[in-house]
Structure 1
Amino acid sequence: MPLFPPAACPRLIVKIGSALLVDPDGGIRRDWLRGVAADIAARVHAGQQVAVVSSGAIALGARRLGLAKGGRASLEDAQAAAATGQIALSQVWAEVLDAERLTAAQMLVTLDDLEDRRRYLNAAATLDRLLSLGAVPVINENDSVATAEIRFGDNDRLAARVAQAAQAQGVLLLSDVDGLYDRNPALPGAVHIGRVERIDAAIEAMADRGSASGMGSGGMASKLEAARIATSAGVALAIASGRIERPLSAEARHTLFVPDKRARARKSWLTGRLTARGAIRIDAGAASALAGGASLLAAGALGIDGSFARGDVVTILHQEQPVARGLSEYDSADAARILGTKSDAQAEILGYAPRSALVHRDHLVLI
């Protein structure tokens, strides 16, 4: 049975890498893409809702503009290539899906669109409506305006975040490799890993950070990060090869990352975030309390980094390592004033009744 059958996965996100969609000369692999469109059509007609996260805009634009290094020699080149290539990319997707009697819809997002809670909910509502209408959203990072500070940096992580927003049950990363190996698959004796129940240090050590094609921006490390985001949100993620015809209908080797069934919507949004406004440093006692499910109290806080407002996302650090992320109950100035204090002393310091915690457990996730 192919991965993520419609009956078991009502909503699926499919990510397609640049090396699959664009040939080495910078042209679109139309025959292969028509096969993918036919696979999507078969799934949609079987009742599955499918959205596509499609790479390829920069590679296509670089060819048309004659830019060196595939358009990645500088941020300005990448932005210009993306602006040019996105038109071609959206046009070809519209053509191949229309041939299958499907309607394509384009969504371009930046990191901020899915990091800001309100914009995240707006994007989620748009995705939900498009999918419910039977359209196939084709999503890409808006590289023409994104800068180094506000980029996902790869479409693997974007696909995982889109899955969260769309409340999908599965993410399929089509790649130039057929899954995770215990070492670089080009090395002798490399062993394929078919199923991952938990992403731990041993699994992370298997990642190869290179992008074999030279076109994309990801590698196995980015796919593991995507898997962590997806599974933390209760979404299954699979890495499979797109180097075959009709990859969505083929029964081929892959790696499946098993989802965490305990995930909650707001907490999964926090887990998947890639940025934070600031940080709170804590002592060992507070770290232990957080691990046991408690809120972060001011008594266990040692220091404040950065400037943030009440309700902003902060990272919680113990011995300089991130242990949790959550929504701060105070702005950074007031949080700094009550560091290390008990609740009965905070009212006099603040001049108002203190809140129950620096970060409440209902708005906190361990990482």
Structure 2
Amino acid sequence: MIIVKIGGSVLSNKRKEFSFRGDVVKRIAYEISRFYPEEKFIVVHGGGSFGHPLARKFRIREGLKGYGSRHGFIVTHLAMLELASKVTKCFLENTLPAFPISSSSIFVTKEGKIVASSLLTVKEALSKDFIPLLFGDVSFDTSKGIEIVSGDEIILHLAKEFRPEKVIFLMDVDGIYDRFPGGKLIERLTSKEIESMSLSGSSGIDVTGGIKKKLEVARELVRYTNEVWFVNGLVKDRLSMAIVGNGIGTVVQS
């Protein structure tokens, strides 16, 4: 089994609200179709310009604070359902039976971390040769009332349960660089190297912001999978090459 994360910056233009790169998602679906059904897949996608602007607007991460936050919680969820529907249709056009599963219905969080889940639907979908399609979403939270459950948090939880062969993150750049922009692409990393970066900050690699979070997730993921790939989802065949275990990108191993 392979878990594929379609980053929000791949399926949409984050600078333009509710933009959707249908041509890109259809091509990603086509690349997956080359390997399905011999290979099982779970697909998780980010919020892109659908979920993130609304989550900020309604301050979802600040928790439950009356009717306004309840309203925003629902509106944000509806936007993610709309995005999931668009992704699903792109997969169907490539004869892939992707089945959207609402993350807020199967995960409960505490401070944004999953503390309870019901994965029977995912397991049943896999056993019947569907491709479960999950997504970053709002969540009911035991500490704050409401929160966001990110695509990366979902992938980590799924990896612990299903122990995939590999996890592939589709990004809008070629992988992890020693600095960005203008740096050198790092082709291979180990979990120990990532740990030393996080502790010392002196590795020559810029481990700030979103990339730092991605590397921390990768370091955790390799406890449950053989390898984690970061590849450019906007470039044709990069996903296919990662699936077979080679190509341009960054691979993290234990």
TM range (shorter): 0.7 to 0.9
* Counterpart among 17, 22, 35 of residue 30 in structure 1: 22
Cross-structure match for 2:186 = 193
Indicate if the aligned counterparts of 2:137 and 2:149 stay in contact, CA closer than 8 A: no
Q: TM-score, normalised on structure 1?
A: 0.54
> Which residue pairs with 2:151 in the alignment?
155
Aligned to 1:339: none
Q: Which has the larger radius of gyration?
A: 1
Tell me if structure 2 keeps the 8 A contact 1:156–1:222. Answer: no
1:151 and 1:166 map into 2 onto residues whose CA distance is 25
The higher-RCO structure (CA 8 Å, 6+ apart) is 2
Structure 2 Cα separation of the partners of residues 59 and 145 of structure 1: 22
Contact 1:157/1:223, CA 8 A, preserved across alignment: no
Taking the TM superposition and a 5 Å limit, the aligned residue runs for 1:1-367 are 11-23=1-13, 24-25=15-16, 26-45=18-37, 47-56=38-47, 59-60=49-50, 69=53, 71-73=55-57, 74-75=59-60, 76=69, 79-107=73-101, 108=103, 109-112=106-109, 115-116=114-115, 119-120=116-117, 122-123=118-119, 125-143=120-138, 145-146=140-141, 149=144, 154-183=150-179, 185-186=180-181, 188=182, 190-200=183-193, 201-204=195-198, 205=201, 206-210=205-209, 219-250=210-241, 252-259=247-254
Query: 1:253 & 1:172 partners in 2: Cα distance?
Result: 12
Return the letter of the residue paired with 2:235: I
Q: Deviations over 1:329-351 (max 9, x none)?
A: xxxxxxxxxxxxxxxxxxxxxxx
Pair 1:100–1:164, CA change in 2 (3 A):
same
Q: 2: distance between equivalents of 1:224 and 1:79?
A: 29
Q: Indicate the residue corresponding to 2:65 in structure 1.
A: none
Q: CA RMSD in A?
A: 2.9
What is the distance in 1 between the residues matched to 2:20 and 2:196?
Answer: 37
| Shift, 1:20, TM fit | 0.9
CA 1:38/1:32 → structure 2, altered by over 3 Å: closer, same or farther? Answer: same
CA 1:110–1:14 in 2, change beyond 3 Å: closer, same or farther?
same
After superposition, the Cα gap between the structure-2 partners of 1:230 and 1:181, relative to the gap in structure 1 and judged at 3 Å, is same
- Using the aligned pairs only, state the percent identity: 22
Deviation of residue 256 (structure 1)? 0.8
- 2:5·2:168 contact (CA, 8 Å) conserved in 1? yes
The alpha-carbon distance between structure 1 residues 142 and 156, as it changes in their structure 2 partners (threshold 3 A), is: closer
Q: Which has the higher strand share?
A: 2
User: Once the 2 structures are TM-superposed, how far is the Cα of residue 134 of structure 1 from its aligned partner?
Assistant: 1.2
**Where in structure 1 do 4 or more consecutive aligned residues deviate above 4 Å?**
113-116, 146-153
- In the alignment, the residues of structure 2 paired with residue 173 and residue 78 of structure 1 have an alpha-carbon distance, to the nearest angstrom, of 29
User: How many correspondences in the alignment?
Assistant: 226
In the alignment, the residues of structure 2 paired with residue 48 and residue 180 of structure 1 have an alpha-carbon distance, to the nearest angstrom, of 26
1:136 is displaced (CA, Å) by 0.9
Q: For the residues of structure 1 that align with 2:226 and 2:72, how far apart are their CA atoms?
A: 31
1:249 partner letter: S
In the alignment, residue 208 of structure 2 is paired with which amino acid?
R
> 2: distance between equivalents of 1:111 and 1:176?
30
Residues 52-83 of structure 1 show CA distances to partners (whole Å, capped at 9, x for unaligned) of 11112x73257xxxxxx554131148634422
Matched AA of 2:23: D
Matched AA of 2:42: A
Cα separation, 2, equivalents of 1:131 and 1:191: 38
List alignment gaps of at least 5 residues for structure 1: 1-10, 63-68, 211-218, 260-367
Shift of 1:207: 4.5
SS in structure 1 at match of 2:208: coil
One-letter identity of the residue aligned with 1:12 = I
